[in-house]
Structure 1
């Protein structure tokens, strides 16, 4: 049998689950992993073999390498383009290295319109650069705004404390945090004068974010079927908590910002998407953080974006850390023009942030 790379098929799920467990989880195949891989790799409403996950099959007919991919619809200078979000890159066995090299060649920039990954390792980032890709340093950072430092620290140290049960166990720390907030008032996030935050449904969120995409040459398309699937995938990740949509409004009642975020109890708020009209970055960021503080979250985190950098840096008790290399590649000239001008927007729902494969199984 010839060895080659080919599109992943449903019959490969068991082998890919075993490969994932071997590469990332010490060989243990967790319950539910194969079912989740099926939803992840084959659930997208516009999936086609040529834009899905890719596997390497060796001479013996065994899989020894794979790259899990999710097709995502984007607009590039107004034109619809299907990007491929490259997620878990894995290889096992004696032919794994050969398979990994074969898959790397398959995903060279000159072969595809638009590829990206927001969680690449250092080794993977090197492969991206070798294949004609680019690394976006700002999008490779995660921002973190702490509201209640003791609770936030405890939850970081103990994953078991991140759910609703953890909120009960951490109640005594909440009292200490309130004392810390009185002693250090800058821990409290204040709502800007005249700003309000309103919780809305997905439909209104989609309508209100359309004008905010106007500043970008490349941005998610978020057609209803894809957005519904992405929302279901977020809901399938219990560690994130329920998905919420919020609009930030100014004194006149006009919408100037929008956010999609998840959170559980008094734990972490994971901000998936944060958008705003051009020139309204500071009040949009400040209003969202003030509302998350009001709800009792101990901290908020999200992907850093160039257009938000100054607004985020203006916040007290804000920090930044490396979250994984954001890599992007493709043969479209419009893609490279947009990259040169920081006019690419891809994060949150249109990234790997919602995947259970990052932290679960």
Structure 2
């Protein structure tokens, strides 16, 4: 008889192999350090009494055939303390995908004692399971945004993710983009390059900041929303440390944005290397300042030689992104579930902070290779 039970330390080698095959889609041997990281992420650093623990699905023959990885996140709704559980990894072996193993895992996760359940990586199939179980998709949190600076290099960078040989086209891409870059007027310059962002740069100061400094800025921006994270110092330090380790994405850039008065109006974290597509982990902005912060991010990334950048939307950023020739696509959805309908309504109205550092993408699972 199949069963669902909490993850145990003895399961980690099998779960790591499943990660390597199913989520990372690698045919190479599982890195030796991956089981240890999964233990730290899903066992040592997660409070299984405040919310759902990570769960495994055990098939009739005793094999672990499915897994749902859960991290815990303390939050607040105004002055009320909440326990949130984040579903970061839901996977089932190929030979078990038709027996509802995934749906059973998700149902068991949502039945946990947590006040809120989230995922920001729900595929179309998984999102459908969430809604069947009375979860809600959050459209304004579910869009990836893309800004292209160097169109030919951007195309090459995207192609080499699937066909590594495409990297041989990088020198030609640089030359073509350099020629295209001479066209600095009209609609072309608005779609490609820093465009209008450069014009506003002189009014703001962008400064590098370390992980601790960035962590010290978070409450200033997140606590303005009705539902927001309530990290303790230890857990936030761990998140910032993991969020800095993404070798696959390139160098990390952490910056604050200050007005002429010296007041910090925003901040951002992104990763990238010249000629590649940068990954934006977090953008923070005070009310009414999102456009300026986005312009500074665009200008900074373009100046670093990136072909383009992509990140995840927040409702507070969407309006400012309009008119900046940013492309929006839906790859995975952000979903929420709660027994308290008022909490769900807060997120549906854009009054909750989620995605990025308050989500799943801070972990080393996204962007690190565990060598």
TM-score by length of 1: 0.87
Aligned twin of 2:247: 238
Aligned twin of 1:69: 70
Is the deviation greater in 147-156 or in 58-67?
Answer: 58-67
Is the deviation greater in 59-68 or in 131-140?
Answer: 59-68
Q: 1:105-146 CA deviation, whole Å, 9 max, x = no partner?
A: 213368531111111111111110111110011211100111
Matched, 1:295 2:295: no
Q: 1:314-352 CA deviation, whole Å, 9 max, x = no partner?
A: 213x11111201111122455224124211111212223
Question: Alignment partner for residue 117 of structure 2, among 102, 115, 118?
Answer: 115
Runs of 4+ in 1 over 6 A off after TM superposition: none
Aligned twin of 1:178: 178
- How far 1:357 moved relative to its partner? 4.5
| Aligned mates of 1:333, 1:77 — CA distance in 2 | 16
| Aligned mates of 2:263, 2:23 — CA distance in 1 | 47
Aligned twin of 1:152: 154
- How far 1:152 moved relative to its partner? 0.9
Is the deviation greater in 57-66 or in 336-345?
Answer: 57-66
Instruction: Give matches, 1:40-119, under 5 Å.
Output: 40-43=38-41, 46-50=45-49, 51-92=52-93, 93=95, 97-108=99-110, 111-119=113-121
| Aligned mates of 1:64, 1:43 — CA distance in 2 | 20
Aligned twin of 1:35: 33
Aligned twin of 2:211: 202
| Aligned mates of 2:82, 2:88 — CA distance in 1 | 19
What SS does the corresponding residue of 2:299 show, helix, strand or coil?
Answer: helix
What SS does the corresponding residue of 1:132 show, helix, strand or coil?
Answer: coil
| Aligned mates of 1:141, 1:351 — CA distance in 2 | 15
CA root-mean-square deviation: 2.9
| Aligned mates of 2:33, 2:142 — CA distance in 1 | 30
Aligned twin of 1:305: 314
Is the deviation greater in 273-282 or in 222-231?
Answer: 222-231
Aligned twin of 1:345: 353
Unaligned runs of 5+ in 2: none
| Aligned mates of 1:298, 1:226 — CA distance in 2 | 34
What SS does the corresponding residue of 2:336 show, helix, strand or coil?
Answer: strand
Aligned twin of 1:188: 193
Is the deviation greater in 10-19 or in 70-79?
Answer: 70-79
Q: Would the alpha carbon gap of residues 191 and 8 (structure 1) be closer, same or farther in structure 2, given more than 3 Å must change?
A: farther
Is the deviation greater in 120-129 or in 236-245?
Answer: 236-245
Is the deviation greater in 97-106 or in 343-352?
Answer: 97-106
| Aligned mates of 1:131, 1:354 — CA distance in 2 | 27
Question: Alignment partner for residue 329 of structure 1, among 337, 340, 351?
Answer: 337
| Aligned mates of 1:332, 1:243 — CA distance in 2 | 38
What SS does the corresponding residue of 2:270 show, helix, strand or coil?
Answer: strand
Aligned twin of 1:133: 135
What SS does the corresponding residue of 1:320 show, helix, strand or coil?
Answer: strand
Unaligned runs of 5+ in 1: none
Q: Would the alpha carbon gap of residues 80 and 268 (structure 1) be closer, same or farther in structure 2, given more than 3 Å must change?
A: farther
| Aligned mates of 1:209, 1:49 — CA distance in 2 | 25
| Aligned mates of 1:276, 1:139 — CA distance in 2 | 16
Contact kept? 2:277, 2:310, Cα under 8 Å: yes
Is the deviation greater in 46-55 or in 21-30?
Answer: 21-30
What SS does the corresponding residue of 1:239 show, helix, strand or coil?
Answer: helix
- How far 1:70 moved relative to its partner? 2.0
| Aligned mates of 2:251, 2:121 — CA distance in 1 | 22
Contact kept? 2:211, 2:241, Cα under 8 Å: no
Is the deviation greater in 190-199 or in 22-31?
Answer: 22-31
- How far 1:90 moved relative to its partner? 2.0
Instruction: Give matches, 1:221-260, under 5 Å.
Output: 221-260=230-269
| Aligned mates of 1:86, 1:139 — CA distance in 2 | 16
Contact kept? 1:21, 1:27, Cα under 8 Å: yes
What SS does the corresponding residue of 1:43 show, helix, strand or coil?
Answer: helix
Question: Alignment partner for residue 142 of structure 1, among 144, 147, 153?
Answer: 144
Q: 1:295-325 CA deviation, whole Å, 9 max, x = no partner?
A: 2211111101211111111213x11111201
Q: Would the alpha carbon gap of residues 328 and 7 (structure 1) be closer, same or farther in structure 2, given more than 3 Å must change?
A: same
What SS does the corresponding residue of 1:170 show, helix, strand or coil?
Answer: helix
